[in-house]
Structure 1
């Protein structure tokens, strides 16, 4: 039945000049970096304290991963429900220590992530990485922009340690590691001096990037933010700072679509960035009122982001990752929904007759363009997606939820 529906849909799309087989082959090769922190509410394994740095996770749904083994088991469950081969995105606070061992963040070494490399190798996955500049006694109001030289040096050393760990990941796994830097530094109220914190941040980044590392193996990215809890009036790592620093220093700009003003959309920024940068990186999330990191939906903005990547032939230039954390619902289900929705959005874009629509725009045929864009919304996209799931041996439609419900009953609820 699924194959029959696919063949019918294939013919329908074919009349538009869309090759559905080619679209599915392309989608199968797109790797999404899945964030580990959805599974345990950004807690990590190196600190028992509360979240800090403008980050807030709400909800207390049962089944949160409490240790590396549980988190890895949950990741395995998600990957069994998502088509294709992907990457895992780690934060530095997910270091795994042997019994009785501990290293503070400025002293982290590759060996503290050896179990993650072993996990990735067995599954043929890549790893991406993020220094963790929050949820730490020395991550108060400032980290890399701190006026306290001792505090700033601690976090500079952490950034350097993370580059070495990222290079270890890339070497061991045979694929580049994206290392993304984001800091939660800023002021709650209007500052008297905006320049000095940014000058210190710039100097800190310069020092981190001064170490010798293989730039083909480690792809450093810098992520901006418009505001956060406790830094409502001023953010050191603003969009202008991060874009300019990245451009001048040969690293990537990373855009999180929850890190801008409510009327700004990342989908509109991608084309501009691609004109001036070889590559960019994205954290795909869903802001609601503010940077609340809701589960990614198959919604207008996610589809528009995917369209910009596909129609600009930029799959090899845009690095895709997810970033959300919802503790109010089943965490494994949240991961699965978000991953599948980004893949659906990419498929939707791949099934769009982009050349035809561009031609209509260039010829000024805006009535026909609007008509075609709207008619495409009711094309049999779902039949193509179902077939993609089936041929990649993952559940079709909502069938995956039964697996997650059973996993909740047999595994997650017993963690209480």
Structure 2
């Protein structure tokens, strides 16, 4: 009976949207092609499989909800369980510390594609493409500076690490027949006043030039800024201005993390500027709350505006969407599902926006009509289209996934402690 109600509600919604010139079937087809890059670190609080030490380098996972993944098998199991509740076919984003090291310690300047062989096989078996990240935090040589460190021995260690990560990403892309996007983010900065900002940024630029000297065909580089990290509040070497300039001048993808900007900044507004000067943009979607940038994504104005701007820029094929939050205070699989589905809901609303009519109003200086239609579009029955999208993808509709996640917790994750 519920399926019948979903279909009936969708037919009404389809007619309602058709009245303003929008095709709901086309919107669902477009959403089906949008792949999220699910972040592996939500399942285990950014611990990885290299060591059991605490996080360092300006980041922190908060909370101690029971049942986190303790090894590579449990993490993979959790990722697949989360993906089973998310409509569509998505990617998996790995940090270097999630390699399959076989119980042996492999320092980060020695990592090789063989340490991700089992990941590549697993991904192929489950039709899940891989993305990748170098890992500069939580290491004895992290300190406050890595690629911008004046100490050549430290700097060379991280340069070699990042070069090897690019080689791993290249192998991943080659094996999966689709470019692996490798993100470069470092925590480098200072807790207090810095009087030689130029020096560290010049060192970072030179390190990046050395890292990117080798060109690859099966991977794509992206560089990510941040406002600050814990214990590094006063100065960030790889700032937004730095990486925007570097990306534009070196034809690199720039990563915009929605939690890495000042609260009053609009990340959505940055897209149209960046896309004029760089080939593509990578998004890390999270939810900032005061100083913490990594709360679970929800369907709020910031995420909705971001998705609308992607569509308005006609950039669905140039903007890659990844998630980047780690909430250890609630069920981790549930956090995956909430954030992923919230992002998809925002994208669906963006795809259903009557853009042609709105642009016509704008071109004719019909400000009243534009604002009125924008407001009325907010209350159109997009949720009925979302329910149909979930139904077509054979995933739980509405709140049904809550009970499923609770069942998995009772049967699996609760028994890990």
Give TM-score, length-normalised by structure 1. Answer: 0.98
How do 1:107-126 residues align onto structure 2 when only pairs under 5 Å count?
A: 107-126=110-129
Counterparts of 1:95 and 1:234 in 2: how far apart (Å)?
31
Which residue in 2 is equivalent to 1:74? 78
Contact in 2 for aligned 1:88/1:127 (Cα 8 Å):
yes
Residue in structure 1 matching 2:165, options 162, 170, 176: 162
Structure 1 position 228 matched with structure 2 position 229:
yes
Count, aligned residues:
413
Counterparts of 1:269 and 1:245 in 2: how far apart (Å)?
16
Counterparts of 2:55 and 2:147 in 1: how far apart (Å)?
18
Contact in 2 for aligned 1:262/1:290 (Cα 8 Å):
no
Which residue in 1 is equivalent to 2:414? 413
Contact in 2 for aligned 1:42/1:325 (Cα 8 Å):
yes
Which residue in 1 is equivalent to 2:239? 238
Contact in 1 for aligned 2:59/2:230 (Cα 8 Å):
yes
Structure 1 position 359 matched with structure 2 position 360:
yes
Shift of 1:249: 1.3
Q: Deviations over 1:206-255 (max 9, x none)?
A: 111112422xx111000011112111111000111101111111211111
Residue in structure 2 matching 1:211, options 195, 209, 214: 214
Which residue in 2 is equivalent to 1:375? 376
Contact in 2 for aligned 1:46/1:93 (Cα 8 Å):
yes
Structure 1 position 39 matched with structure 2 position 28:
no
Counterparts of 1:291 and 1:248 in 2: how far apart (Å)?
31
Which residue in 2 is equivalent to 1:64? 68
Secondary structure of 1:335's partner?
Answer: helix
Residue in structure 2 matching 1:21, options 13, 22, 25: 25
Secondary structure of 1:245's partner?
Answer: helix
Bigger Cα displacement from structure 2, 67-76 vs 225-234: 225-234
Counterparts of 1:59 and 1:104 in 2: how far apart (Å)?
28
How do 1:140-151 residues align onto structure 2 when only pairs under 5 Å count?
A: 140-151=143-154
Contact in 1 for aligned 2:169/2:182 (Cα 8 Å):
yes
Which residue in 1 is equivalent to 2:253? 252
Contact in 1 for aligned 2:133/2:165 (Cα 8 Å):
yes
Q: Deviations over 1:92-113 (max 9, x none)?
A: 01011124x3311110001111
Tell me which stretches of 4 or more aligned residues in structure 1 moved more than 2 Å.
211-214
Structure 1 position 103 matched with structure 2 position 130:
no
User: Alignment RMSD, CA only?
Assistant: 0.9
Residue in structure 2 matching 1:55, options 48, 54, 59: 59
Counterparts of 2:306 and 2:215 in 1: how far apart (Å)?
35
Contact in 1 for aligned 2:345/2:386 (Cα 8 Å):
yes
Shift of 1:340: 0.5
Gaps of 5+ in 1: none
Shift of 1:290: 2.4
Contact in 2 for aligned 1:258/1:290 (Cα 8 Å):
no
Contact in 2 for aligned 1:47/1:136 (Cα 8 Å):
no
Contact in 1 for aligned 2:247/2:278 (Cα 8 Å):
no
Which residue in 1 is equivalent to 2:14? 10
Q: Deviations over 1:321-349 (max 9, x none)?
A: 11000000000000000010111111000
How do 1:298-313 residues align onto structure 2 when only pairs under 5 Å count?
A: 298-313=299-314
Structure 1 position 134 matched with structure 2 position 137:
yes
Shift of 1:22: 0.5
Contact in 2 for aligned 1:47/1:135 (Cα 8 Å):
no
Q: Deviations over 1:137-190 (max 9, x none)?
A: 110111000111111000000000001100110111111100010110001111
Gaps of 5+ in 2: none
Counterparts of 1:231 and 1:6 in 2: how far apart (Å)?
50
Bigger Cα displacement from structure 2, 361-370 vs 125-134: 361-370
Counterparts of 1:276 and 1:168 in 2: how far apart (Å)?
28
Which residue in 1 is equivalent to 2:265? 264
Secondary structure of 2:60's partner?
Answer: coil
Counterparts of 1:272 and 1:287 in 2: how far apart (Å)?
23
